[in-house]
């Protein structure tokens, strides 16, 4: 079996003497040059809890490859912390970082002729970026997630990163003292690991496990745990089976496995970002998977997990009650998953789950199908004159299913943050934040600050928020994002004025603004497309290449 088919031309061909000399220079023996080469791509760096331990995990993956007579070679790529860049101009680089990660992993593996790849990833964009690279390369690959952070604690109350954002909202609203605020900030995040609720990182990690691209328990094993270390070694070892059986990402990522992934996102009440990222992942896999597929799955799937941001528990609690495999086992038993999908173990999803213990008896984290939190999914794909090409709403039902209110318009996130702080947003308002789309932002920033400020100010049930930008996985409330076409491209969201009546109907999945046709014609005639905000660099390139949010914001398809 030809398991070193890419590296062989570099390591064994007589016409590549310099390549072989250089590989000896890095410490490889003649024997090593006969082995398959596995690129181990780490997004480890010191500046972010999600990423700070990844280089250590990458070394364990390397140990695993060596245990199986493979050559594991670690390389690094970038990552952007959403938590740290949130609410700053830096956040514009977050979504573009997904594509930089994909591009850089693709580049190294192709250029260096590696036979396969293990990615060791942590924060939100790391995971979809890695998966897009794996699918473009279509060489045997496994994803290792750095794992979830432990909870923080202040005065007996469990904390996580969103507690810090909402503390700001409470401080601004005058309901939290400066002293408590400072304690919450200090204690919210106790060490390594990705944000602890069912936010974007844990959403993507869980979905990727259901998709079959990571080993069982990968998504719920905590960042700081022996399980995480053992699993990293196992991932290196598992590459041997994938190489020998020639199991490639496109054998694993299919329409059916994507359905499994989105089914789990729905059950878990996951982040709206999953829609964007899985549209892009499906494109990289050359599988037709559109907004309609998300809506179909949402319609036929209940929302079961009582997890933050809208619920009570954290990912560490999912781990405590049996982990994601126990949840998958429950769903499989109930006929909600395709058990015959292939996974990176070389076995099917159903085979992987055979020996997995059931969810802990008496647990409250995952509700039974018979008494769900909501009968259908929280992710709604809406259309209407405000979103002719679609948008994504996160509606858990806690804030109701219908919202009709008066527009309060802001042309940027910062204006909205100031407006909320200065009390300009009142009960009954629909906050409109525009020119924050993929081209207009550019970079479609994730906006946790305004939604956290609305929650912190106690307006969660009385104010809706719509935008052509994105939300954090930590966002909750009556929110609609990814509005397409975006304001920069002439979408109607750009023509809304203060006081216009906006109706969001989460049962009919519609989002409309009531402007009479004469007035609308006048506004259209007066609208002038603003110039793109960046003239050079990454954001210039991004604004020129990015597709719409309804197409997954991909940058390699025109």
Ligand X SMILES: CC(C)(O)[C@@H](O)C(=O)O
Catalytic residue among 85, 257, 472, 550: 472
> Could you count the other beta carbons within 10 Å of the beta carbon of residue 514?
11
Strands (E), 374-524: 379-384, 387-394, 402-410, 429-433, 464-467, 478-481, 501-505, 510-514
Q: Which among 389, 405, 374 has a CA at the least distance from the CA of 504?
A: 405
- The encoded tokens of residue 157 equal 């109350």
In DSSP terms, 431 is beta-bridged to: 408, 465
Number of residues interacting with ligand X: please give it, by CB under 6 A. Answer: 16
> Does 83 participate in binding ligand X (rule CB under 6 A)?
yes
Strand 379-384 versus strand 387-394 pairing type: antiparallel
Q: Is 548 one of the annotated active-site residues of the chain? A: no
For the record, the structure tokens of 192 come out as 């390594």
Binding of ligand X at residue 82 (CB under 6 A)?
yes
CB nearer to Mg ion: pick between 82 and 486: 82
Q: Report the partner that residue 83 touches, choosing among ligand X, Mg ion, none (CB closer than 5 to 8 A by kind).
A: ligand X
446 contacts ligand X (rule: CB under 6 A): yes
**Interatomic CA distance for residues 294 and 297, integer angstroms:** 5
Q: Is 293 annotated as a binding-site member?
A: no
CA-based angle 372:257:325, to the nearest 5? 55
Quick check: 403 binds ligand X (CB under 6 A)?
A: no
Nearer to Mg ion, 203 or 547 (CB): 203
* Residues in 120-139 at the binding interface with ligand X, rule: CB under 6 A: 124
Tell me if 199 contacts ligand X by CB under 6 A: yes
Please report whether residue 93 would count as binding ligand X according to CB under 6 A.
no
Instruction: List interacting residues with Mg ion (CB under 5 A).
Output: 82, 124, 200, 446, 472
Which distant-in-sequence residues (6+ apart) come within 8 Å of 377 by Cβ?
266, 297, 298, 299, 301, 302, 303
Tell me the C-alpha distance between 482 and 166, whole Å: 23
Applying CB under 6 A, does 271 fall inside the site for ligand X?
yes
161/381 with CB nearer ligand X: 161
Write down the least CB distance from residue 446 to ligand X, Å.
5
Q: Which stretch binds ligand X (CB under 6 A): 37-45, 195-203, 236-244, 497-505?
A: 195-203
Closest to Mg ion by CB, 97 or 257: 97
Task: Give 42's strand partners.
Answer: 76, 120
Query: How far, in Å, are 24, 35, 227, 340 from residue 294 at the CA level?
Result: 50, 42, 33, 21
Contact string (CB under 6 A) for ligand X, positions 451-490, x = contact: ---------------------xxx----------------
Q: Is 161 in the site for ligand X (CB under 6 A)?
A: yes
Catalytic residues: 472
* Residue set of the binding site: 50, 82, 124-125, 446
* Residue set of the binding site for Mg(2+): 82, 124-125, 446
């Amino acid at each position: 079996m030809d398991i070193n088919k890419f590296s062989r031309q570099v390591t064994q061909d007589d016409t590549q003497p310099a390549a072989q000399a250089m590989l000896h220079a890095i410490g490889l023996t003649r024997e090593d040059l006969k082995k398959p080469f596995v690129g181990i791509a780490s997004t480890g760096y010191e500046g972010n809890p999600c990423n700070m331990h990844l280089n250590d995990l990458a070394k364990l993956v390397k140990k695993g490859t060596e245990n199986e007579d493979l050559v594991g070679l670690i390389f690094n790529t970038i990552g952007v912390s959403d938590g740290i860049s949130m609410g700053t101009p830096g956040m514009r680089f977050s979504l573009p970082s997904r594509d930089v990660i994909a591009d850089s992993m693709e580049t190294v593996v192709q250029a260096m002729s590696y036979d396969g790849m293990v990615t060791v990833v942590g924060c939100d964009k790391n995971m979809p970026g890695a998966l897009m690279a794996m699918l473009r390369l279509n060489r045997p690959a496994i994803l290792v997630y750095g794992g979830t952070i432990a909870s923080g604690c202040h005065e007996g109350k469990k904390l996580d990163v969103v507690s810090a954002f909402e503390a700001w909202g409470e401080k601004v609203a005058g309901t939290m003292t400066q002293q408590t605020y400072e304690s919450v900030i200090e204690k919210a995040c106790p060490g390594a690991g990705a944000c602890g609720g069912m936010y974007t990182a844990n959403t993507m990690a869980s979905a990727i496990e259901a998709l079959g691209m990571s080993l069982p328990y990968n998504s719920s094993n905590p960042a700081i745990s022996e399980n995480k270390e053992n699993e990293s070694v196992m991932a290196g070892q598992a590459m041997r089976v994938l190489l020998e059986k020639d199991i490639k990402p496109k054998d694993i990522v299919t329409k059916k496995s994507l359905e499994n992934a989105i089914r789990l996102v729905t059950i878990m009440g996951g982040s709206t970002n999953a829609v964007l990222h899985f549209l892009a992942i499906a494109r990289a896999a050359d599988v037709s998977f559109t907004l309609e597929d998300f809506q179909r799955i949402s319609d036929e799937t209940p929302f079961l997990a009582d997890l933050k941001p809208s619920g009570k528990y954290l990912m560490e609690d999912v781990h405590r009650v049996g982990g994601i495999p126990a949840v998958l086992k429950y769903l499989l038993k109930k006929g909600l998953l395709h058990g015959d999908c292939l996974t990176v173990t070389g076995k099917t999803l159903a085979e992987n789950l055979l020996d997995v213990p059931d969810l802990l008896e008496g647990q409250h984290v995952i509700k039974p199908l018979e008494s769900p939190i909501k009968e259908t999914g929280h992710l709604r794909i809406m259309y209407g004159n405000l979103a002719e090409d679609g948008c994504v709403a996160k509606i858990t039902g806690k804030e109701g299913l219908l919202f009709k209110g008066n527009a309060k318009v802001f042309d940027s996130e910062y204006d909205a943050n100031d407006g909320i702080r200065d009390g300009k947003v009142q009960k009954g308002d629909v906050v409109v934040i525009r020119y924050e789309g993929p081209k207009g932002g550019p970079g479609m920033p994730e906006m946790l600050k305004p939604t956290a400020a609305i929650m912190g100010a106690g307006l969660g049930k009385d104010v809706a928020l719509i935008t052509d930008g994105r939300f954090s996985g930590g966002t909750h409330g009556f929110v609609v994002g990814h509005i397409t076409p975006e304001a920069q491209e002439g979408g109607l969201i750009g023509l809304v004025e203060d006081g216009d009546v906006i109706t969001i109907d989460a049962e009919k999945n519609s989002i409309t603004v009531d402007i009479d046709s004469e007035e609308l014609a006048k506004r259209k005639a007066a609208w002038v497309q603003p110039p793109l905000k960046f003239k050079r660099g990454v954001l210039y390139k991004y604004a020129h290449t990015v597709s719409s949010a309804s197409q997954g914001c991909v940058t390699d398809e025109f």
